[in-house]
Amino acid sequence: MTEIDINLVQAHIEKLDMIGKMGNGGTSRLSYSKAWRQGQAFVTMLMETCGMTVERDAIGNLIGTYLGTEPNFPYLMVGSHLDTVPEGGSLDGALGVLTAIECIRTWQIAGYRPLRTVKIIATVEEEGTLFGLGCMGTRFIVGEMTMEKFAALHDKQGKTLAEYFADNGMNYEALAYSSIVPDEVFAFLELHIEQGQELDLSGEPCAIVTDIVGIDRHWITIQGHANHAGTTRMDRRRDALVAASMVVQEVYKAACSSQGLYVATVGAFKVTPGATNVIPGKVEFTIETRAAHDETMENVHLEILKLLRQVEEKYNVKAMVNERRFAPAVHFGTTISEELSKAAMDVKQKVKKMPSWAGHDSKIMARITQCGMIFVTSLNGISHSPEEATRWADVEKGLKILNQAMKRIASIPQC
Ligand SMILES: [Zn+2]
């Protein structure tokens, strides 16, 4: 069979990266933009060259179909996202699309057709840049989005999804109908850069992803009393900021001593009134925790509540969780994980097994089908940046596993 050509993948990545290239070296290929349209045209051309028929679904996911010998069997879907963050790197998302296409290129030259049809997907708006809603393309596929939810979306300038659709000559009303029937999807595979530093530090080039961590977000308010910063004695103060800073410190310390079980971040923080001569009366902030096990996040949640009671008592303030949003961890099933492990053995590649600490389209697709992911190294753990990089030798290793896993999974007969 024709060999995987890593130089060709590199050339395609570099070409796609030039579309939407900014002055600082970053790439902005935001969904529904001119760069996105040009990127889609480039990917369409690559797919068609490999004998795939290409269509775009109602929301703008690009899907190339390579027919199997049993086209009525549920199909294998493989891919990742085509959009980037503003001024992002060349690999996040794009690598998963272009490596999948490279596999099909070699299949077509060799005249190889698996049992099951394989569909390569380049999803839209995974990064959530436009509306703050990540994985919008796959949320549409799994049937999570209603017309009410679409109608509520608008960007920072107030521009709606319907207006973005109009810019692109896309039919907004068609969003009422999904093009994908969940039962027709057999499995979903995604190759992605790790975006963390685990692989780079361990010296292993690739990993099979076991889970995608859950995310538990809290919006917290600490209410103290704003008063004169000169005339209010220290023992009479109800300083909301001092109380909040204890929470920040304790949450950080606890996560540091969890031995990698979970991570916790205070990412947004607002002090009111925020003046040099006024004791802070109110502080609003967020705490986000991520873990591969839901029980871990639940325990941390209870610890946060306990901590809030402690600061209330210590600083004479009121501390409350106004809102909590909990997205459970996703555990990839054994069938696809085993096929990925066997594929790695077939190509004599040692792999690490690890959870993903970032969200991906696979996390959403797992609601309707069995999923699997392959990670390749992110040098220095850098991503969402023009400095994002992976050794091409590492990409090649991950790609060989992907190719073998696609063959294996697309050859699983109907049970
Ligand atoms: Zn990504």
Q: What is the pTM of this model?
A: 0.91
Could you tell me the distance, in angstroms and rounded to a whole number, from the CA of residue 74 to the centre of ligand 1? 26
Could you tell me the distance, in angstroms and rounded to a whole number, from the CA of residue 1 to the centre of ligand 1? 30
Q: How far apart are CA 306 and CA 300, in angstroms?
A: 10
Could you tell me the distance, in angstroms and rounded to a whole number, from the CA of residue 312 to the centre of ligand 1? 40
- Is pLDDT at 179 greater than 80 in this prediction? no
- Is pLDDT at 185 greater than 90 in this prediction? yes
Could you tell me the distance, in angstroms and rounded to a whole number, from the CA of residue 92 to the centre of ligand 1? 5
In a domain? residue 41: yes
Could you tell me the distance, in angstroms and rounded to a whole number, from the CA of residue 194 to the centre of ligand 1? 9
142 and 127, same structural domain? yes
In a domain? residue 1: no
Average pLDDT estimate for 371-387: 96
In a domain? residue 83: yes
112 and 27, same structural domain? yes
Task: Choose the final residue of a domain: 327, 357, 380.
Answer: 327
**Is omega for the bond preceding 273 within 30 degrees of 0, making it cis?**
yes
Task: Choose the final residue of a domain: 274, 296, 327.
Answer: 327
Could you tell me the distance, in angstroms and rounded to a whole number, from the CA of residue 207 to the centre of ligand 1? 16
Could you tell me the distance, in angstroms and rounded to a whole number, from the CA of residue 358 to the centre of ligand 1? 8
Distance between first and last Cα of the chain: 28
Q: Map the chain to HEC letters.
A: CCCCCHHHHHHHHHHHHHCCECCCCCECCCCCCHHHHHHHHHHHHHHHHCCCEEEECCCCCEEEEECCCCCCCCEEEEEEECCCCCCECCCCCHHHHHHHHHHHHHHHHHCCCCCCCEEEEEECCCCCCCCCCCCHHHHHHCCCCCHHHHHCCECCCCCEHHHHHHHCCCCHHHHHCCCCCHHHEEEEEEEEECCCCHHHHHCCCEEEEEEECEEEEEEEEEECCCCECCCCCHHHCCCHHHHHHHHHHHHHHHHHCCCCCEEEECCCEEEECCCCCECCCEEEEEEEEEECCHHHHHHHHHHHHHHHHHHHHHHCCEEEEEEEEEECCEECCHHHHHHHHHHHHHCCCCCEEEEECCCCHHHHHCCCCEEEEEEECCHHHCCCCCCCCCCHHHHHHHHHHHHHHHHHHHCCCCC
As a whole number, the mean pLDDT across the chain is 96
Could you tell me the distance, in angstroms and rounded to a whole number, from the CA of residue 239 to the centre of ligand 1? 41
Average pLDDT estimate for 94-115: 98
Could you tell me the distance, in angstroms and rounded to a whole number, from the CA of residue 249 to the centre of ligand 1? 31
Q: How far apart are CA 241 and CA 71, in angstroms?
A: 62
Could you tell me the distance, in angstroms and rounded to a whole number, from the CA of residue 174 to the centre of ligand 1? 26
pLDDT of residue 43: 98
Q: What are phi and psi of 157, to 5 degrees?
A: -90, 5
Given pLDDT bands bounded at 50, 70 and 90, which one contains residue 177? Answer: confident
Average pLDDT estimate for 386-393: 96
- Is pLDDT at 315 greater than 70 in this prediction? yes
Average pLDDT estimate for 355-376: 96
Could you tell me the distance, in angstroms and rounded to a whole number, from the CA of residue 127 to the centre of ligand 1? 7
Q: How far apart are CA 380 and CA 201, in angstroms?
A: 8
77 and 28, same structural domain? yes
Could you tell me the distance, in angstroms and rounded to a whole number, from the CA of residue 29 to the centre of ligand 1? 13
Could you tell me the distance, in angstroms and rounded to a whole number, from the CA of residue 285 to the centre of ligand 1? 27
- Residues spanned by the domain of 395: 6-212+329-410
Task: Choose the final residue of a domain: 303, 327, 351.
Answer: 327
- Is pLDDT at 163 greater than 90 in this prediction? yes
Place of tokens 């096929």: 339
Could you tell me the distance, in angstroms and rounded to a whole number, from the CA of residue 81 to the centre of ligand 1? 6
- Is pLDDT at 155 greater than 80 in this prediction? yes
Higher pLDDT, 230 or 1: 230
Could you tell me the distance, in angstroms and rounded to a whole number, from the CA of residue 133 to the centre of ligand 1? 14
pLDDT in tens, 14-62: 999 999 999 888 999 999 999 999 999 999 999 999 999 999 999 999 9
Could you tell me the distance, in angstroms and rounded to a whole number, from the CA of residue 71 to the centre of ligand 1? 30
- Kindly report the CATH number assigned to the domain that includes residue 298: 3.30.70.360
Average pLDDT estimate for 301-311: 98
pLDDT of residue 24: 83
Could you tell me the distance, in angstroms and rounded to a whole number, from the CA of residue 125 to the centre of ligand 1? 10
pLDDT in tens, 67-89: 999 999 999 999 999 999 999 99
Could you tell me the distance, in angstroms and rounded to a whole number, from the CA of residue 372 to the centre of ligand 1? 15
- Kindly report the CATH number assigned to the domain that includes residue 42: 3.40.630.10
pLDDT in tens, 278-301: 999 999 999 999 999 999 999 999
Nearest to 215 by CA among 286, 161, 152, 145: 286
In a domain? residue 68: yes
Could you tell me the distance, in angstroms and rounded to a whole number, from the CA of residue 13 to the centre of ligand 1? 14
pLDDT of residue 383: 93
pLDDT of residue 1: 66
164 and 32, same structural domain? yes
Could you tell me the distance, in angstroms and rounded to a whole number, from the CA of residue 91 to the centre of ligand 1? 8
82 and 23, same structural domain? yes
- The domain total for the chain is 2
